[in-house]
Each structure stands twice: as structure tokens, then as C-alpha cells.
Amino acid sequence: MRPTLILVAVLAFGSPALPAAAEEAAAAGATTPALPAISVTEVASMRLSDRIIASGLIAAVEEVQVAPLIEGQPLESLRVDVGDMVTEGQVLAVLSRTTLELQKSEAEASLAAARATIAQAEAQLVEAQSAAAEADRVAARTAKLRESGTVPQATLDTVSANQTAAHARVMVARQGLESARAQLALTEARLKNVELMLSRTEVKAPVAGKVIARNARIGAIATAAGQPMFVIARDAALELRADVAEADLMRLAPGQKARLRAIGMTETLEGTVRLVEPTIDPLTRLGRARIQVDRAGDLRSGMFVEAEILAAERETLAVPVTAIGSGPEGSSVMRVRNGVVERVPVTTGIRDGGMVEVIGSLAAGDLVVLKAGAFVRAGDRINPVVAPAPTN
């Protein structure tokens, strides 16, 4: 019976050692927990483009209105129609010349009469000058005879009076000649005016371009009041008058390139920002940019067109938009170094697709949390899992 008791005692004292070893192993395992796996991405250097989307209507860069330079004459013929290309000085329409031709004939007759009047005045002046010279000679002879006592004083007085009258007639003849010459100049001016009006019966294009409107009608009386006879788009140049949001307007500047897309056109057209208007509509809060179309193609005035304006393009550091967090201090990213998360303030710039420009103390190749602030805080230790780098 004694050997049996010893065996039982050994078993009783040895069996508690097994649970103690298991507890030590469990305690050792609890001090090294598994780190959470968090998706991270690299800060990459790439070319980003800042694009502004706008839309509006096509219009001519400059519309030139053509009105008749003379009034009161009926329109006889039209030489061009809407859509025609015209050159500078090309005849667009012809007005009636009948009334002006009669005025020209009258002016030519008046001119001939004025020239005849001048010839007559010149002859009268010569005659008056001859009479005055003869009166001077008679007066001189009479004065000598009076000194010798041959003729009475009355005769000398009569001769002196005749001399004065002769010189007065010379002055009258000279003034008559000047008046005739002035009348001739006036008649010549009238004739030139009639000839000018005759030349203006041909309504000509002041500039080269495309006719985009024609209000003239055959038989209508020409007048500068009301609608112009023709409207010409100078050099057929078109532009997009695009409405732009107030926030985007400050990023536009003349010279920026744009791509234009119109309904019904398969090709993309190129354009250049020509002008950014300095005012904003107080009701819609929209500004306007004028984009000149480099090659109009099949565009027409009044067409609705969308534009993608390239406001800026540069090589810069970028991260996915989801990596940017915001708070009271501004934008930031969660950078991972040696498995430890730290918050880095950044300034954001261009947004292109799913990427955003970051300006701050980051370098290409730095790891940042792909979804900032969703699962981690500054100081956390993580197991970074590099996600595929997104593209813009």
C-alpha cells in the first residue's frame, strides 16, 4: 500500500505546473499585439493641370455696321447676301443715281456760268482801269493849264471829279471780279459734293469679313436711321463669350489656351482667352471671359459651346484628394515614418482629377495615409500597406 501513496502524491504535486506555463505564454503574447494594417500612398511628382469649365454663346469678335453715307435715294440693287465673304472696298449695294445726275448737270452749268461771269468781270476791270488811266492824264494836263491860267478853275474841278469817279469804277470792277471768283469756287465745291454723293451711291464694305446680317431691301429709301443695311464680322473672327463662376474668374488671364466643344461637332476646337471682362453680374454672380476661336470651322454665331480653359499647368508634388484632411488649423496629411503617424500641415493647390497639389514640408516618396483621419491619429503606430499610386 505505501508505494501507491507515493505515486499519487507525485501526481498531485506535478499537475499544477502545466496551467502556469500556459498563463506565462499568454501574458507574453499580450504585450506584443498585432498593428493595424492601414493603406498608404507615396507623395508623387507629376504634372497637374488646372482647368476651368465654362460655357456660353458664339459671337463675332467685332461687328461692323454698314449704313448708307447718303440719304433719300432708293436702293436699286444688292450685290451680296448673308454668309458671303467680302473684301475691303467691295460694293455691297447700289443706290439710285438719277437725282444726283441731274444735280451734277445743274452744277456743271452753274460752273460754266461762273466762269463766264469771271471773264466779263475781268473785261470790265480792264475797261475801268483804262478809263482811270485816261482820267489821270486829262487831270494832269488840266492842272498844268490851270497853273498857266489857260483854263478856269471849274474845268479843273470837273476833270478831278471825273478822275475820282474813274478810280471808283476800277474798285467796283475789281470787287466784281473777286465776287465772280468766289462764286466760281462755290460752284466748284457744289460740283465736287455732287460727285462725292454720286460715288457714295455705291455702298462699300469698310472692312473685310463675313456678312452676318442684311437688312437692306430693294426699293427702300436709304437712311442712316434705324437698322444698318449690313452687318459684317471683321475678318470672320468668332469668339466664345463664356460665363464663368466668380470663384474661377480670378484664375483667368488673357493668353490662356482653351478647348471648345459644340453640340453636333465631333472635333474639338482650339481657342485663346482674349479678354476677361472687369465686371461681375450682381444677380447671377457670374463673370465673362471672351475666348477667340483660332479656327472657327463650322461654328456659327449664336451656337452654345462649352470650354475647358487651361488656367495653369506645372510639375509639382501631389497626393490623392482622400489623403487631405481638414481642421481648425487648415489642411494636413498624415505622414508615416518608421510605422509612426504624424500630422503635417500642407497648402493645397491645383486639383486635377483625383489628385491635388500639396505645398509644405513633404518630399517625393513620403508615405501618407490614403484616407487621412479615418482610422488613425498622430502618434499611432501602424502597419503601412502601400496602395497602388493613383493617376490624374
- Tell me the pLDDT tens digit for each residue of 84-119: 999 999 999 999 999 999 999 999 999 999 999 999
pLDDT in the model for residue 10: 32
Mean pLDDT over residues 302-328, rounded? 90
In sequence order, the β-bridge partners of residue 290 are: 241, 275
45-49, 179-183, 232-236, 326-330: which has the minimum mean pLDDT? 326-330
User: How far is 336 from 323, CA to CA, in rounded Å?
Assistant: 12
CATH class of 37-48+315-386: mainly beta
Asked if the model's pLDDT at residue 133 lies above 90, the reply is yes
Residue 297: pLDDT band (50, 70, 90) is confident
Mean pLDDT over residues 221-238, rounded? 91
The residue among 89 and 151 whose pLDDT is bigger is 89
Listed in sequence order, the DSSP H helices in the chain are 2-14, 17-30, 98-148, 153-199, 246-249
Give the whole-number percent of the chain exceeding pLDDT 90: 60
pLDDT in the model for residue 148: 84
Asked if the model's pLDDT at residue 267 lies above 50, the reply is yes
Q: Indicate yes or no: pTM above 0.85.
A: no
pLDDT in the model for residue 113: 93
Our separate counts of H helices and E strands in the chain read 5, 20
Mean pLDDT over residues 350-362, rounded? 89
pLDDT in the model for residue 308: 93
CATH of 52-60+237-314, one of 3.40.50.300, 2.40.30.170, 3.40.630.10, 2.40.50.100: 2.40.30.170
pLDDT in the model for residue 298: 80
pLDDT in the model for residue 34: 81
pLDDT in the model for residue 389: 64
Give the whole-number percent of the chain exceeding pLDDT 70: 90
pLDDT tens string 170-219: 999 999 999 999 999 999 999 999 999 999 999 999 999 999 999 999 99
Centroid of chain to Cα 231: 18
What is the grid cell recorded at 107? 452744277
User: How far is 322 from 375, CA to CA, in rounded Å?
Assistant: 13
Asked if the model's pLDDT at residue 38 lies above 60, the reply is yes
pLDDT in the model for residue 159: 87
Residue 65: pLDDT band (50, 70, 90) is very high
Asked if the model's pLDDT at residue 236 lies above 80, the reply is yes
Write down the CATH number for the domain with range 64-96+209-232: 2.40.50
Cα 190–Cα 192–Cα 196 angle in degrees, nearest 5: 115
Helix %, strand %, coil % for the chain, to 5? 35, 35, 30
User: How far is 64 from 90, CA to CA, in rounded Å?
Assistant: 14
Residue holding cell 503617424? 341
Residue 26: pLDDT band (50, 70, 90) is very low
pLDDT in the model for residue 305: 93
Q: Give the CA radius of gyration of the chain.
A: 51
Asked if the model's pLDDT at residue 231 lies above 80, the reply is yes
User: How far is 196 from 103, CA to CA, in rounded Å?
Assistant: 12
6-10, 51-55, 196-200: which has the minimum mean pLDDT? 6-10
Asked if the model's pLDDT at residue 7 lies above 50, the reply is no
Spans of all domains in the chain: 37-48+315-386, 52-60+237-314, 64-96+209-232, 98-199
The residue among 350 and 25 whose pLDDT is bigger is 350
The residue among 123 and 378 whose pLDDT is bigger is 123
Question: Average pLDDT, whole number, for the chain?
Answer: 86
